[in-house]
């Protein structure tokens, strides 16, 4: 029987630390500020933005929301980003993805000042992650690392398999594991012998976006299983990329969905906003 990694409880600890950091900064006359831009009315994006806003409020972080209509032009969006780059009370800028079709998200991310890029999607920040000299980390992979560290799960020398190669999760996740001396395999939709590769994993990270994709026959006995997915099953219930019921008896540690990686993503965003506030104030980390 696997030990459940309680993302809610661990995220609460991170958020408490953020709250203490905010209080320390405020004593120095600094109030961390985050601007969130949402374009259009995608319900999932709206839920994420509301959760981020609430989390900022609870941590004492000043936040501004810019809700733009779906027909916003690229030029209008870029002008708003530039305005926020110049705003002294805004330390972090987050553009909620995906953007409506017709908008170029790569250009929008490129327009955010790297020092305010709390998602760590800007090419400059991605490059820093590659060489291991980073200021910010993408929130979801950073949250996964926080879970592993919290549970004292050894990474060095282990074979880690990441299913998914997105710029947001898969690629940076592999890089962070590599920085901690893991041997890393990245799998994706064109990987041959996927099941056999996954079965070799000491730590398996599923970030593929397919409900219950990882089944028990893909998991090694006593593997650590981290489920980044957020899907709906055939009954419309929230579930991950891992078939939890099947896999849980085989794993040594497993994250549930909901309540595993999800809460960590927002906690790490708050942490990144603190880092950005210190950077804007010229303070050393």
Catalytic residue among 21, 119, 202, 227: 119
Q: Which two tokens stand for residue 204?
A: 């398996």
Q: CA 77, CA 272: separation in Å to the nearest integer?
A: 23
3 given a catalytic annotation: no
96 catalytic, yes or no?
yes
Q: How far is CA 282 from CA 44, 62, 91, in A?
A: 36, 19, 12
Q: What DSSP letter does each residue of 177-238 carry, written as one string? A: HHHTT-EEEEE-TT-TTHHHHHTT-SEEEE-S--TT-B-GGGS-TT-EEEE---EE-TTS-E
Residue 87 to residue 70: CA distance in whole angstroms:
24
Active-site annotation holder among 96, 117, 212, 280: 96
Say whether 124 sits in a helix, a strand or coil: helix
Alpha-carbon distances of 250 from 27, 216, 260, rounded to whole Å: 49, 7, 18
- Using CB atoms within 10 A of its CB, is residue 159 exposed (0-12), middle (13-18) or buried (19+)? middle
The answer to whether residue 54 is catalytic is: no
Q: Any idea which residues carry the catalytic annotation?
A: 52, 96, 119
């Amino acid at each position: 029987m696997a030990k459940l990694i309680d993302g809610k409880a661990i995220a609460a600890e991170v958020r408490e630390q953020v709250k203490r950091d905010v209080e320390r900064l405020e004593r120095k006359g600094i109030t961390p500020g985050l601007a969130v831009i949402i374009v259009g009315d995608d319900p999932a994006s709206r839920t994420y933005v509301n959760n981020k806003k609430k989390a900022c409020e609870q941590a004492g972080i000043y936040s501004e929301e810019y809700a733009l209509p779906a027909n916003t032009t690229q030029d209008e969006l870029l002008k708003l980003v530039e305005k926020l780059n110049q705003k002294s009370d805004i330390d972090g800028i987050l553009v909620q993805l995906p953007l409506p079709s017709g908008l170029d998200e790569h250009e929008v991310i490129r327009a955010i000042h790297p020092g305010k890029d709390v998602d760590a999607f800007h090419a400059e920040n991605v490059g820093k992650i590659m060489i291991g000299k980073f200021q910010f980390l993408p929130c979801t992979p950073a949250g996964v690392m926080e879970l592993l560290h919290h549970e004292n799960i050894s990474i060095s020398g282990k074979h880690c398999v990441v299913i998914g190669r997105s710029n947001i999760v898969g690629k940076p996740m592999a890089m962070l594991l590599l920085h901690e001396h893991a041997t890393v395999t990245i799998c994706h939709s064109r990987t041959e012998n996927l099941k056999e590769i996954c079965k070799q994993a000491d730590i398996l990270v599923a970030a593929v976006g397919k409900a219950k994709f990882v089944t028990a026959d893909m998991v090694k006995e006593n593997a650590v299983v981290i489920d980044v997915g957020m899907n709906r099953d055939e009954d419309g219930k929230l579930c991950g990329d891992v078939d939890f019921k099947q896999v849980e008896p085989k794993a040594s540690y497993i994250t549930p969905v909901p309540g595993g990686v999800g809460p960590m993503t927002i906690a790490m965003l708050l942490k990144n906003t603190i880092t950005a506030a210190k950077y804007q104030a010229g303070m050393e980390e």
